[in-house]
């Protein structure tokens, strides 16, 4: 193998990874799968695509070794290959936010529209957890909560929140979280809670940021 052949092959294999990250829909799939495995039907519904397009994106991710799959009867279940995929995705997010003012503005405007002005960081959350004066609210789907959640978090999926508001009216501050910065479930939940006079805000990170910071999650 010549030096040129070595370089061409090396960069091509790396390009396969970056190509898999080049689609907004594939990034959304990676974001969803970072919370746990899903079947194609679930991903199709979550991403608002048709079955064929979802399957095509998953095949590209699988060819790039970013996702893997297993069979469960007639269903095909997809999951991320390893934690390095999640770390890479988070690094891409950080790079985009640092270098793209437009993205920072989109995030700011969306949160402002939901009346969220002071998202809580992991460091701030840990301090608040010591006070025992908060309710940590996980508004993700139940199966994601069961796959792993922050210590002491209460599970009320966004779809059930309206019917369970009375469970959250004890005077404690609510800190809601979902899948991370680009997930809308926690902002939607906080918007609803604040309109009902229940003091609340969002955690600006997710369980993976918590894990990568060296803290344990619960199952």
User: What residues are paired with 15 via a beta bridge?
Assistant: none
Q: What is the C-alpha separation between 178 and 189, in angstroms, rounded?
A: 10
88 among known catalytic residues: no
What distance separates the 2 farthest-apart alpha carbons in the chain?
A: 70
Among residues 178, 185, 193, 207, which one is catalytic? 178
Alpha helices in 21-117 (DSSP H): 24-33, 40-47, 51-63, 83-99, 101-113
Apex 179 CA angle, 84 and 177, nearest 5: 130
- Token output for 13: 């294999």
- Token output for 131: 């006070």
Q: What is the C-alpha separation between 30 and 85, in angstroms, rounded?
A: 8
User: What residues are paired with 80 via a beta bridge?
Assistant: 67
- Token output for 15: 């390009």
Q: Given the structure tokens 């979280």, which residue do they identify? A: 177
Residues catalogued as catalytic: 178
């Amino acid at each position: 193998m010549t030096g040129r052949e070595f370089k061409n092959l090396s960069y091509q294999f790396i390009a396969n990874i970056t190509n898999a990250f080049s689609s907004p829909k594939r990034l959304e799939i990676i974001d969803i799968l970072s919370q746990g495995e899903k079947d194609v039907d679930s991903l199709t519904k979550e991403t608002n695509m048709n079955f064929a397009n979802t399957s095509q994106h998953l095949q590209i991710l699988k060819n790039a070794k970013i996702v893997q799959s297993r069979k469960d009867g007639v269903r095909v279940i997809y999951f991320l290959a390893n934690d390095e995929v999640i770390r890479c995705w988070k690094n891409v997010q950080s790079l985009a936010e640092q270098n793209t003012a437009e993205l920072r503005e989109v995030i700011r405007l969306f949160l402002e529209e939901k009346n969220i002005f002071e998202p809580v960081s992991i460091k701030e959350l840990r301090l608040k957890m010591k006070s025992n004066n908060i309710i940590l609210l996980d508004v993700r789907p139940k199966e994601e909560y069961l796959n792993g959640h922050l210590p002491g978090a209460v599970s009320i999926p966004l779809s059930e929140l309206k019917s369970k508001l009375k469970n959250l009216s004890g005077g404690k501050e609510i800190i809601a979280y979902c899948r991370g910065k680009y997930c809308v479930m926690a902002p939607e939940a906080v918007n609803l809670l604040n309109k009902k006079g229940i003091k609340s805000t969002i955690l600006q990170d997710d369980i993976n940021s918590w894990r990568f910071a060296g803290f344990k999650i619960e199952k």
